Structure 1
Amino acid sequence: MKMLINGEGRDAVSGRVFPVHNPATGEVVGEAPLGGEDDVRAAVQAAGEAFGDWSAKNPRDRAKVLFFAAEEVRRRNTELGTLLTAEQGKPIREAVDEINGFANILEYYYALSAGERGEYLDLRGYGHTIVRRRPLGICGAIIPWNMPAIIMGWKVGAALAAGNTIVLKPATTAPLTCIRLAEILEGAGLPPGVLNVVTGPGETVGREIARNPGIRKVSFTGEAGTGRQVALDAAPSLKRLTLELGGSDPMIVCDDADIPAAVEGVIRGRFYNCGQVCTAVKRLYVYDSIADEFVRRLKSRVEAIVVGNGMDRGVGMGPLNNRAGFARVTGLVDAARERDEGEIVAGGRTPEGEEYGRGLFFLPTLIAGVPHDSVLFSEEVFGPVLPMATISGLDEALDLANNSRYGLGASVWTRNAEVIARATEELEAGIVWVNQHLRIPPEVPFGGTKESGIGRENGSRALLEYTEEKAVLIRL
């Protein structure tokens, strides 16, 4: 599979490729060109040449491309989902859902794109003022491997609808589906050069996207340390930035919660995509009066999750995506065990069996009674491991929930309107769920506070992030 630059499939300037492995089997499922700085520069040139015509198009005509692409993505969702499972590892049901989610996002921005946004002001003594919004120009997008289709949709949908052109870098462990989706967009009528995909490592391709002075904005999703480096690299050219970084989302279960519903919320919120979601439940706080029943029910559900190859029928959780993530998760659990930080109620190890031998599998893990100062609470555990602690009440819950350098998401489970009002006001997070967790429809602005990043994706506000204002004062 080749990079897509100016509407053409291209090899890297280096002529080299890198393999993409199935994390469930270790098998090579494809190759991608090993791009570098020169490939990014070629993509920037193509994006610059395409910008004038694309930005001048009627917004409705731009939107039609998104609509037709969404139709084709839905028609091919099983094919695309199969490719996504092969390179990323998630169960095929989750993969197809993600592909459909990409289509949902394109349809949403199609629906928003009836005309350019702006405002009119009648200022006495100054005349008439029109505030116009215009596209920024060439934008860069750097996306991770955990939810590549959805996150590509967040960045590409808003940027294209606003009239920008893009240089996109997928993750090296999951680039193939992104290239296919870009090809579908071009097949739906996207002109050559409007969307360019360059594959390769972050230290070359990603850094050139951040540094290149021709790029006006960079949207990055990934680890917080890498996000800081992106910000430093982008600073000399004063690029606009959207940084969606790490999260350590707390889930608070109050004593009046619907316990079965909250247990199911944990199962989906923590173990979906093998726990490799920035907004996954990563810290569980349960009122002590219901803790015994909650742990009993949750243990049963965690142990019932079927782990295996995402293509196999009945599998509820696939492997971790890459060896670095696998080593980090196993290391954190081993360290907690050595320090006697809580009781491993379920999981805590790799599964046994010949079928797991070459894959990056780790059992869904529940650790109860974890001390509040444990690294399992302070660090982002990007995998299927859930630390839990009991709490005495809402004051303690909010103090613990906010005692983190992250502030991406949080949830509270209760039937009490006063608790809901206070929790939604005081939780330091970019998104707060009540009696649910994890789901983010395209209409909802998404982003974090503190070290979870800056800027917002999703929703109508995302279009504003990809435009700049021009004020026009008229006196007749």
Structure 2
Amino acid sequence: MKMQIGGKAVDACSGEFFDIINPATGELIDRVPKGTEDDAAIAVESASSAFNGWASTSPQQRARILYTASGIVRQRQDELAFLLTREQGKPLAESKNEIEGFAHVLEYYCGLASSFHGDFVPVHQNGYAFTVKKPLGVCTAIIPWNMPALIMAWKIGPALISGNTLVLKPASNTPLTNLTLASILSEAGLPPGVLNIVTGPGEVVGESLVKSPKVKKISFTGEARTGKRIAELAAGGMKRVTLELGGSDPMLVCDDADLEAAVAGALRGRFYNCGQACTAVKRLFVFESVAERFIKKLEAGVRNLRVGNGLHENVDMGPLNNRRQWEYIKELVADVEEKDEGRIITGGRVPEVSTCSKGYFFEPTLIVDVPRESRLLKEEVFGPVLPVGQVKDLDEAIEESNNTCYGLGASIWTKNLDKARAGCEQLNAGIVWLNQHLKVAPEVPFGGTKESGIGRENGPDALSEYLDLKTIMLKI
């Protein structure tokens, strides 16, 4: 499959390619161009040339194009989900949900097409003033491999509906669905150059896009180290940045919680997408008085999860996406065992089932009695490993939850209004769920505090990230 620049499918200037591998089988799916600095520059120039035409297109016409694209995506949902599962690894049901999410996000921003406008302000003794909102220009989006379709929509929805043009760099592991979605947008009538996709290494293509003087805004989702590098590079050009840098989301289970619902929430919140979600439950704190009952129910649920190729029926959890992530999870669990930093009550191994022998599979793992200094509680664990700790009360639970450099999401499970209010107010996170976890709707702003990033995606707030506000003063 080829890159998409200026509305055309093209190879890289280098003539080199890299392989896309199915993480469940190890088979070669496709090859995509290995982009270069020159490719990035060509894409930026294409977006720059298309900007004036797209910015002068009415918001209603932009919305018609995006809405047409969302309809085509819905018609081709099964085909797109199959492709997404092959390159990413998640179960087919999760891929179908993600493709539907892509369409839903575009449709949401179509509904906001007429909402970004300025204000009229009477200014005493100085006449009148009014404000107008203008698109920034060429923007860059750099997206991860865990939810490539959904996060693509989070970037292109607000960027394109507000009149900007965009160069998108997909993750090197999962570019195929992104390229196919871009071709659908072209089919729906998106003018050439409005959306360009360059595949290739982040340290080459990504850095070139961030450093380009014609790029006015960067939106990045990924690990904190890379986000800090992007912020450093963007500072020299005073570029706008939105950085969603992951997290170590806590889940608090109080003594009055609905334990059945909390167990179901923990299972989905941790093991959805093989634990590879920025807002996944990564640390679980349960009140001592209900810990034994809760952990017993949770262990039974974890043991019942079915691991296998995401294209097969009756699979609850697919493989990790890539060898690097697989090796990291294996090392992390081995480290826990070697240092005696917890007790593995289920999982902790590579499955022995023959159908899992060639892929990056790891058993869903539950670990209790985890000491506070463990890597499991300090790092962002991007995989199917859930550490469970016991706390005396809500104060201790909140203290432990906030004891991290991250602040993306958190959830509290309780029927008590006072506990719910305290948790929602005191947990340091960009989003706090009550009696649920993981769900992120396009209608609400999403982002983090501390090292989980800056800026917000989704909701009307995301539009302001892509618009310049100009004030015009009149003396009549």
Is the TM value for this pair above 0.5?
yes
Looking at structure 2, the residues matched to 411 and 354 of structure 1 have their Cα atoms a distance apart, in angstroms, of 37
Q: Which deviates the most, 136-145 or 368-377?
A: 368-377
Contact 2:253–2:413 under 8 Å retained in 1? yes
1:301-342 Cα deviation digits (max 9, x unpaired):
001000000000000000000111111111111000111111
Correspondence 1:299-318 to 2 at 5 A: 299-318=299-318
**Which residue identity does 2:87 align to in structure 1?**
E
Aligned to 1:330: 330
Shift of 1:116: 3.7
Match of 1:92 in 2: 92
Contact 2:73 2:103 in 1 (8 A): yes
Do 1:35 and 1:205's aligned partners in 2 also have CA atoms closer than 8 Å? yes
Q: Which amino acid aligns with 2:473?
A: L
Alignment partner, residue 384 of structure 2: 384
1:238 aligns with 2:238: yes
1:330-369 aligned within 5 A: 330-369=330-369
Give the distance between the partners of 1:307 and 1:131, measured in 2 at CA. 55
| Aligned-partner Cα distance in 2 for 1:122–1:330 | 64
CA contact under 8 A between 1:405 and 1:450: conserved in structure 2?
yes
Provide the residue aligned with 1:289 in structure 2: 289
Give the C-alpha shift of residue 168 in structure 1. Answer: 0.3
Aligned to 1:135: 135
Kindly state the Cα deviation for residue 430 of structure 1 after the two structures are TM-superposed: 0.3
2-structure distance, mates of 1:53, 1:7: 14
Alignment of 1:57-456 (within 5 A): 57-456=57-456
Query: What is the rounded CA distance, in whole Å, between the counterparts of 1:131 and 1:375 in structure 2?
Result: 50
CA–CA distance in structure 2, aligned partners of residues 90 and 421 of structure 1: 35
- For 1:44-55, what aligned pairs fall within 5 Å after superposition? 44-55=44-55
Listed one character per residue, the Cα deviations across residues 187-214 of structure 1 (whole Å, up to 9, x for unaligned) are 1110000000000010100111111111
Deviation (angstroms), 1:117: 2.0
Partners of 1:374 and 1:351 lie apart in 2 by 25
2:351 and 2:357 in contact (8 A); partners too: no
Output one character per residue of 1:79-124: Cα deviation in whole Å (capped at 9) or x when no partner: 0000000000000000010000000000000001025422221121
Matching residue of 2:472: 472
For 1:4, the equivalent position in structure 2 comes to 4
Give CA deviations for 1:384-422 in whole Å, capped at 9, x if unaligned. 000010000011011000000000000000011111111
Task: Return the alpha-carbon distance in structure 1 between the equivalents of residues 305 and 119 of structure 2.
Answer: 52
SS in structure 2 at match of 1:140: strand
1:60, 1:115 within 8 Å by CA — same for their partners in 2? no
Question: Counterparts of 1:348 and 1:148 in 2: how far apart (Å)?
Answer: 27
Q: Distance in 2 between matches of 1:118 and 1:162?
A: 13
Does the CA-based 8 Å contact 1:121-1:129 persist in structure 2? Answer: yes
Provide the rounded CA distance (Å) in 1 between the counterparts of 2:174 and 2:323.
14
Provide structure 1 residue ranges, at least 5 long, that are not aligned to the other structure: none
TM-superposed CA distance for 1:355, in Å, is: 1.5
Contact preservation (8 Å) 1:59, 1:115: no
Q: Give the 3-state SS of the residue equivalent to 2:134 in structure 1.
A: strand
Number of residues paired by the alignment?
476
Contact 1:59 1:116 in 2 (8 A): no
Q: Report the Cα distance in structure 2 between the residues aligned to 1:409 and 1:218, rounded to whole angstroms.
A: 22
Give the TM-score of the pair, scaled to structure 1: 0.99
Give the distance between the partners of 1:402 and 1:213, measured in 2 at CA.
Answer: 38
Q: Retained in 2: the 8 A contact 1:222–1:244?
A: yes
Q: What SS does the corresponding residue of 1:35 show, helix, strand or coil? A: coil
Query: Hey, what's the Cα distance between the residues in 2 that align with 1:115 and 1:252?
Result: 38
Between 124-133 and 296-305, the greater mean CA deviation after superposition: 124-133
SS of 2:103's equivalent? helix
Percent identity between the aligned chains?
Answer: 55
Cα distance in 1 between the residues matched to 2:89 and 2:115: 40
Residue type at the aligned position of 1:377: L
User: Structure 2 CA distance, aligned partners of 1:55 and 1:45?
Assistant: 16
1:244 deviates by: 0.3
Give the Cα separation in 2 of the matches to 1:457 and 1:159.
11
Contiguous gaps of at least 5 residues in structure 2: none
Structure-1 separation of matches of 2:186 and 2:427: 42
Could you tell me how far 1:353 is from its partner in structure 2? 2.1
| Deviating 4+ runs (over 6 angstroms) | none
Provide the TM-score with structure 2 as the length reference.
0.99
